């Protein structure tokens, strides 16, 4: 299992265990970033402005 795959699995587990909608969206953004989506694509998926996610996506 590669590091990226391990991180994706960790994020997916966190998404299943959270009850907070806000944290679910944050985990979704991180997951999409790890899968290789661009900020503008992530913004369309989560229905937010792309500039909202640029700072958070710097991992």
From its phi and psi, is residue 36 left (phi > 0), alpha (psi between -120 and 50) or beta? left
Q: Is 15 inside any structural domain?
A: yes
Assigned domain for 22 exists: yes
Q: What CA–CA distance (Å, rounded) separates 53 from 55?
A: 6
| Greater pLDDT, 54 or 23 | 23
pLDDT of residue 46: 86
Is the pLDDT at 57 greater than 80? The verdict is: no
Give the domain extent around 20: 3-54
Q: Return the higher-pLDDT residue of 48 and 20.
A: 20
Q: Which residue has the higher pLDDT, 46 or 48?
A: 46
- First CA to last CA across the chain, in angstroms? 20
Q: pLDDT by residue (tens digit) across 2-42? A: 668 889 999 999 999 999 988 999 899 889 988 999 888 88
Whether 36 is covered by a domain: the verdict is yes
- Domain total in the chain: 1
- Which three-class secondary structure state does DSSP give residue 19? coil
59 within domain boundaries: no
Residue 45 maps to a domain: yes
On the 0-12 / 13-18 / 19+ scale of CB atoms within 10 A, 9 is exposed
């Amino acid at each position: 299992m590669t590091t990226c795959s391990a991180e994706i699995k960790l994020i997916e587990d966190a998404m299943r265990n959270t009850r907070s909608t806000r944290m679910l969206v944050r985990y979704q953004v991180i997951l999409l970033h790890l899968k290789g989506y661009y900020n503008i694509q992530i913004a369309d998926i989560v229905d937010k402005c792309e500039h909202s996610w640029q700072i958070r996506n710097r991992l």
